[in-house]
Amino acid sequence: MGRTKAQRDTRRSTQAARRSDRALVLVDLENVVGDPWATGPEVVEAYESVLVAAGHRGGDLVVVAANRWMLAELGTRAHTSAQLLVGHGPDGADLALLDWVASWPAVFERCGRVVVASGDGIFATVAAEANLSGVAVSVVSRPASLSRRLRDLPVDLVGI
C-alpha cells in the first residue's frame, strides 16, 4: 500500500534532518572543459571554476571522472581532494560517475545537497532521484552544453 502525501513529506523532513551540510559534487570533467583532449591549465581552471560555482566547502565529497590524460593533468596540480574515476571510450566519464552513484545506494541520505557538474542529459535521472529524496540539487554547466532534460528539472542551474 502506498504512502499518503503527508507520510512522504514527514519521511522527507526526517531524512533531511539526518543529512549533513556536506555536498556530493559529481564532475564530468570532459563535459565541463568542452574538449576531451584538452590539456594544461585549461583542465585545472575548468575544475576550479566548478568548485567555485558549486560553493565547495571543506568536507564536501568530490568525485571527478574523465579520461586518463585529463586526470593526469589534474593530478599533477595542487587542488582540493577528490576521488578520481577513469572513463574509457564514448560516454566513459558519464558512465563511471553513474556507476559510482549506483554503488552507494543511500548516497543521497548522507548529503544535504548534490551538484552535478555536467550538461549531459544522462545525469537527469540522478538529479531527479536526488531531488525526490529531498536533497537540494544544482547543475553546473556551460550554457552551450546544457541538455534539455537537465534544464527542465526543478533544480538550480549555475552557468560557468
The pLDDT of 112-133, averaged and rounded, is 95
The pLDDT of 49-66, averaged and rounded, is 94
Question: How many CB atoms lie under 10 A from the CB of residue 124?
Answer: 19
pLDDT for 104:
86
In the chain, the amino acid numbered 72 is A
pLDDT tens-digit map of 83-114: 999 999 889 999 999 999 999 878 888 899 99
Per the structure block, which three cell numbers stand in for 47? Answer: 575544475
What is the Rg, in whole angstroms, of the alpha carbon atoms belonging to the chain? 16
pLDDT for 5:
62
Among 3-12, 74-83, 119-128, where is mean pLDDT lowest? 3-12
The CATH fold of domain 16-150: Rossmann fold (3.40.50)
Higher pLDDT, 13 or 119: 119
Domain ranges of the chain: 16-150
Confidence check: pLDDT of 1 > 80:
no
The pLDDT of 133-159, averaged and rounded, is 94
| Mean pLDDT for the chain overall | 87
Calpha distance 160→148 (Å, rounded)? 17
Confidence check: pLDDT of 8 > 70:
no
pLDDT for 17:
44
Calpha distance 126→124 (Å, rounded)? 6
pLDDT for 125:
95
Cβ distance 64 to 84 under 8 Å? yes
pLDDT for 109:
85
Calpha distance 120→66 (Å, rounded)? 14
Confidence check: pLDDT of 16 > 80:
no
Q: Which residue, 61, 70, 116, 62, is CA-closest to 94?
A: 116
